[in-house]
Amino acid sequence: MTKNVLTRLLQASLMCCLAVLFTACDDVFGNEDNPMSAYLSMSDKPVTLKAGDTYRRKAISVTTAVVEYTSSKTDVATVDNEGLVTAKAEGITTITATATGYSSQNGKKIYQPASVSYVVTVVPATVSATSLTLNKTTEVLAKNGDALTITATATPAEATLTWESSDEAVATVANGVVTPKGAGIATITAKSGDVKATCEVFVGNEVDLGASAYEAKNYDIVKGNMGAYQLTIPAGFKVAFDGVTATKQIVCSGDATIYLADGSTNSVTAVSTDGNAGIKIGGTGTTLTINGETAGTGQLTAQGGYYAAGIGTNYSYYSAVTGGYIVINGGTVTANGGSYGAGIGTGRASSSYSNICGDITINGGTVTATGGSSAAGIGTGQTLSSNTCGAITIGTGVTSVTATRGTSSPNSIGKGEGDEDNQNCGTITFGTAAVFNGSAWSPATMTAGTYGGLNLAISGNTWTLTPVAP
């Protein structure tokens, strides 16, 4: 047995003996004329509790001294006569144990009054949310510009929230206030328990366009009238439109993402005598993505030139044309095809060269697509050889999608005019319903009704899809 263990045993034995001795001999060791020490002790180590928690810390006396407990701020925490603390509300309080001087054995005041205390800090209780939403989902901010306040709505309302940014070099967040720092994309996340909600924040450099060609830089926020000059978006770049006017096509060199700033009006009109799309998508395997800010009030109007699509591919006059995918997630987008081009999809396929675009997916926003005289609103333009678009999907998150066919086109969505064997379209899905399998419609004759969570209204050459009301 070590020396330290022996020492502790002796100390414990001595304390027990003293307790018995003082208890049995109160009148011998202390009296009202000559009170003795209460030998009161308690740890003074601070403690932090969450509101609603309990915690017990008792003072120790080897005598029969009566000990009472008090809290300096009972609105922060209370304490009972057993030293049990109940945390009430955020704040700081001092818990004090006081030897009153009286003996619990004979009721006489034979001890010297004494007190010991410790500090309790109460923090808000952690309440987990069962649901959580943000009033912002996608936002465009200027680098070093004004901060943005995001408001969270949680159930229950008193749920505890934590906030974080995926990239603090781009944007920081504190209690929902987002401060832009540097160009890039940051995801702002609010969390509570097992639920979370996010907002994508685009932070960019503002660029005023003039009457000259411009090759965008990554994370530009472009605005201004560039006249009959071309705006090019290099492969992989993300840009925001905040009031752009162009009378020559916009070219996407590869993958490209366009954000439409709320309240902005943006328009591009390809030269009517050119076979160019209003916005020309990149080649095979690339994706043009169009995102709107939260309110979806950013407007984009794209007008295709001679025989070309509003958004999609050029006219295949000089060579075969192959384009990538088109994804629209938000904003107010209007796309008008040229004479024989789709509003969204392919331009005309000449007698010598084919025209191809990839899948077209519309997940959100208010989208209006009008085809040229022999083209679908969404899908393919006229073909004199071979014209193909991939699968077309309209999701239930849209505000509305309106597609108007040209007078000679058989479909508002899908294949435009031309030899049936040379017009190709992938599957067409409305919400969760597959309505076209690549060769036939289901039902064989589409009528107004509900399809996979979307209402289809038909008026003449126009189809309009809107979500079924909850």
What are the structure tokens assigned to 158, written together? 């008193």
C-alpha span between 281 and 347 (Å, rounded): 12
Sorted by sequence, the CB contacts under 8 Å of residue 223 that are 6+ apart come out as 206, 207, 208, 209, 241, 242, 243, 244, 264
User: What per-residue confidence (pLDDT) applies to 32?
Assistant: 61
The tens digit of pLDDT for each residue in 236-267 reads 999 999 999 999 999 999 999 999 999 999 99
Which residues have C-beta within 8 Å of that of residue 163, sequence separation ≥ 6?
173, 174, 175, 176, 188, 189, 190, 191
Per-residue confidence (pLDDT) for residue 102, from 0 to 100: 84
3-state DSSP assignment of residue 441: strand
Tokens standing for 462? 């126009």
pLDDT for 21 equals 43
Residue owning tokens 């076979």 = 275
Residue 8: pLDDT over 60: no
Instruction: Tell me which of 187 and 127 has the higher pLDDT.
Output: 187
Number of other CB atoms surrounding residue 242 within 10 Å: 25
Most confident of the ranges 171-175, 268-272, 419-423 = 171-175
What was the pLDDT predicted at 4?
Answer: 52
- What single-letter DSSP state applies at residue 316? B
- pLDDT over threshold 60, residue 10: no
- What DSSP string runs through 236-279? TEEEEEEEEEESS-EEE-SSEEEEE-TT-EEEEE--TTS---SE
Q: In this predicted model, what pLDDT tens digit does every residue of 406-459 receive, in sequence order?
A: 999 999 999 999 988 899 999 999 999 999 999 999 999 999 999 999 999 999
pLDDT, tens digit, 9 for 90 and up, residues 128-172:
999 999 999 999 999 989 999 999 999 999 899 999 999 999 999
pLDDT band at 329 (very low <50, low <70, confident <90, very high): very high
- pLDDT at position 31 is 56
Region 398-407 average pLDDT: 98
φ/ψ of residue 437, rounded to 5? -100, 10
C-alpha 166: how far from its chain's center? 11
Q: What is the mean pLDDT of residues 6-23?
A: 46
Q: Torsions phi, psi of 343, nearest 5?
A: -60, -50
> Is residue 35 scored above 90 in pLDDT?
no
**pLDDT reading at 397 higher than 80:** yes
Q: Rounded distance, CA 425 to CA 163, Å?
A: 45
Convert the pLDDT of each residue in 59-109 to its tens digit. Answer: 988 778 889 999 999 999 999 999 999 999 999 999 999 988 888 787 788
The CA dihedral of 431, 434, 436, 442, to the nearest 10 degrees, is: -110
Confidence at residue 16, expressed as pLDDT on a 0 to 100 scale? 45
Structure confidence by residue, pLDDT tens digits, 190-228: 999 999 999 999 999 999 999 899 999 999 999 999 999
Q: Quick one: tokens of 4?
A: 């330290």
Q: Cα(192)–Cα(347) distance, rounded to whole angstroms?
A: 49
pLDDT of residue 2: 52
- The Cα–Cα gap between 41 and 407 comes to 95
User: What is the per-residue pLDDT across 350-384, written as a single tens digit (0 to 9) for each?
Assistant: 999 999 999 999 999 999 999 999 999 999 999 99
Q: Minimal CA–CA distance to 20: which of 82, 98, 105, 81?
A: 105
Torsion angle in degrees (nearest 10) through CA of 391, 395, 400, 402? 10
pLDDT mean across residues, the chain? 92
